[in-house]
């Protein structure tokens, strides 16, 4: 019983990172029909920011959260204005592949500048663990979890309650209609791309608490994030969050009850099963 | 009733427009007087929708002039035109399908920042369209075609437009509903809002249009008051079934 609880707990925590990645992918896809293969790399860049910040100042990574999100937001805007904006005027295939190319450039660019060694933040201020009932809670997972919950809450509030958020949602539902009611859809596009990069930035900062930082770290998270998006119903931000949490649970349960080596197998089997019964994903609607 | 007496709010002069290298609109000119119902008629493929698209900034004109309140609006983006008081109700309705009817209307008031004004507009629109009010909570995509068209027009009204542009509002609707939709159009015109309506249904539209232009093969060929065109032999032959 306590093994199960422990596995559920850890799955949920890991799932929040997948959910953050998935959220960004869902947002960008929903608004502009771009498949963002570079979400994992945005996460990686934020991990480097958090790493260098923490190592240089000796402060815990959470202090670098605004920095991680800010840098990634600006980077996202720049990438949108230069690369994505142009790709959107081209054929569909280039729209699909452009972020894939971008991700290769980012991974290898970072490799060139910073090398491939694994970097970990030595002092996060959250070493050790707590015993809560039957659970052993690693302290280094607490802040990442809180970061994720805050980002979910903020994004759901932003998209549903604010004027700019509503503009983004309207743009994703019907671009023509959005333009006609007076929404600058170009602005919705750039904002959505910037935000999705910033969300990955938050995920990177969170992940830096307990994971090594190296240039190709984003790959796995990107893959899991993608499956989470499809599971949740492509384009639905809420669905992406749920999909991400499911990915985390499946990941940790296969690890505990079978073998960590089977986690991809477990995740992909569940993925295919869900698509068998809900071909448009859990939140895909009709 | 002559056009010359009214201030012209929209003027299109020798417009040329199209897609890529293909010119669809070759020479279209018309003027919309303030507060009137102006109809642009023509059969499918005559260039009506392309003319509208050029007007609302969705495609770039290849030549000619488009003036709104005396100023050129060539190249102005659709959302800017909305801010300037031009409200477009696009062909095919383009509702936000997953949102409720009321949320669609609220989205239509995106440009209205004052909450009191927004509620006032909503009340007014509901008074004008009681059927829409009945459906307020329903998801937009579950409505019938006629109801969706009403919601689309109602949404277009939410921004307090100076000009309401309707692209084929009768498309795909049965005659009874067409009559109902046109009743609303007349009602809106009575409120002092200028209406530019593009239609294939010439017979019904000419009954209430103050002035109308007929587009054929990308050119404005005939124009006159609604009554004049209803009795015009060429128009009768080509568009009114003899």
**Confidence label for A285 from pLDDT (cuts 50, 70 and 90):** low
- Per-residue model confidence (pLDDT) at position B1: 47
- Per-residue model confidence (pLDDT) at position B4: 53
- Per-residue model confidence (pLDDT) at position B5: 59
How does pLDDT run across B53-100, given as a tens digit for each residue?
Answer: 999 998 989 999 999 999 999 989 999 999 999 999 998 889 999 899
Q: Please, what's the largest Cα pairwise distance for chain A?
A: 57
In this complex, the residue of B79, B98, B99 whose CB is nearest that of residue A182 is B79
Q: If you average pLDDT over residues A225-240, what whole number do you get?
A: 89
How does pLDDT run across B106-132, given as a tens digit for each residue?
Answer: 999 999 999 999 999 999 999 999 999
Chosen from A180, A233, A235 to mutate, greatest number of chain B CBs within 10 A: A180
- Percent of the residues in chain A that have a pLDDT greater than 70, as a whole number: 99
Question: Is the pLDDT score of B2 beyond 60?
Answer: no
The DSSP call for residue A181 is T
Chosen from B91, B94, B125, B142 to mutate, greatest number of chain A CBs within 10 A: B94
Question: Is the pLDDT score of A234 beyond 70?
Answer: yes
Residue A93 or residue A282, greater confidence: A93
Residue A217 or residue A129, greater confidence: A217
Q: If you average pLDDT over residues B1-5, what whole number do you get?
A: 51
Q: If you average pLDDT over residues A41-59, what whole number do you get?
A: 96
Q: What is the mean pLDDT of chain A?
A: 92
- Per-residue model confidence (pLDDT) at position A286: 46
Question: Is the pLDDT score of B3 beyond 70?
Answer: no
Q: If you average pLDDT over residues A103-108, what whole number do you get?
A: 96
Q: If you average pLDDT over residues A178-188, what whole number do you get?
A: 96
Residue A133 or residue B206, greater confidence: B206
Question: Is A280 at the interface with chain B, CB within 8 A?
Answer: no
- Say what the pTM is: 0.90
- Per-residue model confidence (pLDDT) at position B242: 58
Domains and CATH numbers, chain B: 1-85+161-242 (3.40.50.300), 92-159 (no CATH)
Residue A8 CB-half CA count within 13 A: 7
**Confidence label for B193 from pLDDT (cuts 50, 70 and 90):** very high
A180–B82: do the CB atoms touch at under 8 Å?
yes
In angstroms, the separation between the Cα of residue A168 and the nearest Cα of chain B is 11
What are the domain boundaries of chain A? Answer: 2-218
> Which residues from chain B sit within 8 angstroms of residue A174, using beta carbons?
94-97
Q: List all residues 6 or more positions away from A259 whose beta carbon is below 8 Å from its beta carbon.
A: none
- Per-residue model confidence (pLDDT) at position A135: 83
ipTM: 0.89
Q: If you average pLDDT over residues A70-97, what whole number do you get?
A: 94
How does pLDDT run across B147-165, given as a tens digit for each residue?
Answer: 999 999 999 999 999 999 9
The pair of structure tokens assigned to A197 is 């990069």
Look at residues B32, B87, B28, B80 and name the one whose alpha carbon lies nearest to residue B54.
B28
A173–B99: do the CB atoms touch at under 8 Å?
yes
Q: If you average pLDDT over residues A69-90, what whole number do you get?
A: 96
In angstroms, the separation between the Cα of residue B83 and the nearest Cα of chain A is 6
A102 φ, ψ (degrees, to nearest 5): -60, -40
How does pLDDT run across A121-137, given as a tens digit for each residue?
Answer: 888 888 888 888 888 88
- Per-residue model confidence (pLDDT) at position A125: 83
């Amino acid at each position: 019983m306590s093994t199960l609880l422990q596995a559920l707990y850890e799955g949920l925590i890991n799932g929040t990172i997948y959910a953050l990645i998935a959220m960004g992918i869902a947002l960008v896809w929903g608004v502009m029909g771009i498949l963002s293969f570079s979400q994992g790399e945005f996460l990686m860049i934020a991990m480097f920011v958090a790493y260098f910040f923490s190592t240089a100042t000796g402060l815990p990574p959470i202090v670098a959260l605004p920095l991680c999100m800010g840098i990634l937001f600006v980077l996202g805007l720049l990438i949108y204005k230069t690369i994505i904006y142009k790709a959107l005027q081209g054929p569909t295939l280039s729209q699909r592949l452009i972020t894939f190319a971008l991700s290769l450039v980012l991974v290898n660019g970072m490799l060139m500048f910073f090398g491939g060694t694994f970097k970990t933040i030595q002092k996060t201020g959250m070493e050790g663990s707590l015993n809560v009932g039957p659970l052993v809670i690693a302290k280094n997972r607490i802040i990442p979890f809180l970061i994720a919950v805050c980002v979910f809450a903020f994004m759901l509030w932003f998209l549903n309650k604010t004027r700019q958020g509503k503009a983004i949602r309207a743009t994703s539902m019907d671009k023509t209609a959005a333009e006609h009611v007076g929404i600058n859809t170009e602005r919705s596009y750039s904002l959505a791309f910037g935000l999705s990069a910033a969300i990955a930035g938050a995920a990177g900062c969170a992940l830096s608490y307990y994971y090594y930082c190296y240039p190709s770290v984003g790959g796995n998270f990107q893959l899991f994030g993608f499956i989470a998006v499809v599971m949740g119903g492509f384009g639905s931000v809420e669905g992406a969050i749920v999909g991400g949490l499911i990915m985390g649970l499946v990941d940790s349960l296969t690890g505990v009850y079978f073998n960590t080596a089977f986690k991809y197998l477990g995740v992909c089997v569940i993925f295919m099963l869900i698509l068998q019964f809900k071909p448009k994903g859990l939140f895909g609607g009709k | 009733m002559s056009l010359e007496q009214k201030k012209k709010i929209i003027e299109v002069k020798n417009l040329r427009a199209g897609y890529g290298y293909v010119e669809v609109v070759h020479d279209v000119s018309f003027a919309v007087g303030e507060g009137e119902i102006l109809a642009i008629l023509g059969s499918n493929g005559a260039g009506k929708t392309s003319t509208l698209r050029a007007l609302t900034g969705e495609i770039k004109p290849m030549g000619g002039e488009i003036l709104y309140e005396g100023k050129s609006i060539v190249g102005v983006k659709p959302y800017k035109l909305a801010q300037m008081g031009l409200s477009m109700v696009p062909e095919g309705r383009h509702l936000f399908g997953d949102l409720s009817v009321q949320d669609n209307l609220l989205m239509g008031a995106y440009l209205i920042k004052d909450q009191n004004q927004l509620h006032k507009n909503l009340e007014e629109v509901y008074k004008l369209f009681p059927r829409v009010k009945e459906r307020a909570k329903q998801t937009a995509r579950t409505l019938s075609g006629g109801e969706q068209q009403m919601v689309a027009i109602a949404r277009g009204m939410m921004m307090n437009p100076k000009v309401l542009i309707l692209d084929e509002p009768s498309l795909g609707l049965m005659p009874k509903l067409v009559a109902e939709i046109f009743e609303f159009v007349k009602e809106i015109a009575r409120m002092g809002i200028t209406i530019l309506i593009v239609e294939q249904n010439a017979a019904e539209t000419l009954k209430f249009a103050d002035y109308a232009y007929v587009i054929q093969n990308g050119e404005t060929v005939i124009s006159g008051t609604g009554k004049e065109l209803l009795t015009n032999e060429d128009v009768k032959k080509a568009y009114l079934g003899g």
